[in-house]
Amino acid sequence: MSELLYITEDGLRNLQEELERLRTVERPMIAKMLSEATDKGDLSENTEYSAAKEAQGMLEMKIAKLENLIATSRVIDESMIDSSTVRILHKVKIRNVKNNITMEYQIVPESEADLKKRKIAVNSPIARGLIGKKVGDTVEIKVPLGLMHFEIMAVSL
């Protein structure tokens, strides 16, 4: 059995929307491509048919993967999350002790991480270093560039 994936309601909704799009838009489009390629005759030397079959295989693999993700997902109940320490789904305001730069990130499941939206994966080095800490704590986190020191300024949901 697959490992459980903890996800937010928005994350689950996004997965379901993507699955629906693949089933209702992409599948019929590839079926049409296959039909058009089949109409052109000899399939043994038909590169359009081969390309469409390969695209179909890749699409079905994506669909199966999404179906599995959705089946093994468990929505995180935000009301059950303790706000006194840093946890998944929390927004954390941190200050780099060395250069005094302040940053704010939300800690999210890996499938929802998006650095442009300031959402970092729960299994990232920074998130792992912050989990369980409180406002006022100073943490030392090993990142690819070396050791960084952060002070936790605020924690919110």
Q: Is the pLDDT of residue 35 over 90?
A: no
> Please, what is the average pLDDT of the chain?
86
Which residues have CB under 8 Å from 113's CB, separation 6+?
119, 120, 121, 124
Which pLDDT does position 2 carry in this prediction? 56
Question: Last residue of some domain: 75, 106, 136?
Answer: 75
Say whether both 48 and 87 belong to one domain. no
CATH number of the domain residue 12 falls in = 1.10.287.180
Say whether both 84 and 38 belong to one domain. no
Which pLDDT does position 81 carry in this prediction? 65
Which residues have CB under 8 Å from 4's CB, separation 6+?
72, 73, 74
Which pLDDT does position 130 carry in this prediction? 92
If one counts the domains in the chain, the total is 2
Say whether both 67 and 97 belong to one domain. no
* 100 burial type by CB count under 10 A (0-12 exposed, 13-18 middle, 19+ buried): exposed
Say whether both 86 and 149 belong to one domain. yes
Which pLDDT does position 1 carry in this prediction? 43
What mean pLDDT is predicted for residues 147-154? Answer: 91
Question: Last residue of some domain: 59, 75, 91?
Answer: 75
> In this structure, what DSSP letter does residue 114 have?
B
Question: Last residue of some domain: 30, 58, 75?
Answer: 75
pLDDT digits (tens, 9 = 90+) for 40-75: 776 667 788 888 889 999 999 999 999 998 898 888
Cα 51 → chain centroid: 29
Query: Which domain range does residue 100 map to?
Result: 79-156
pLDDT digits (tens, 9 = 90+) for 68-121: 988 988 887 766 666 778 888 889 999 999 899 999 999 988 878 888 999 999
What mean pLDDT is predicted for residues 26-53? Answer: 83
Reported as type and span, the H/E element at residue 21 is helix 9-21
Q: Is the pLDDT of residue 29 over 50?
A: yes
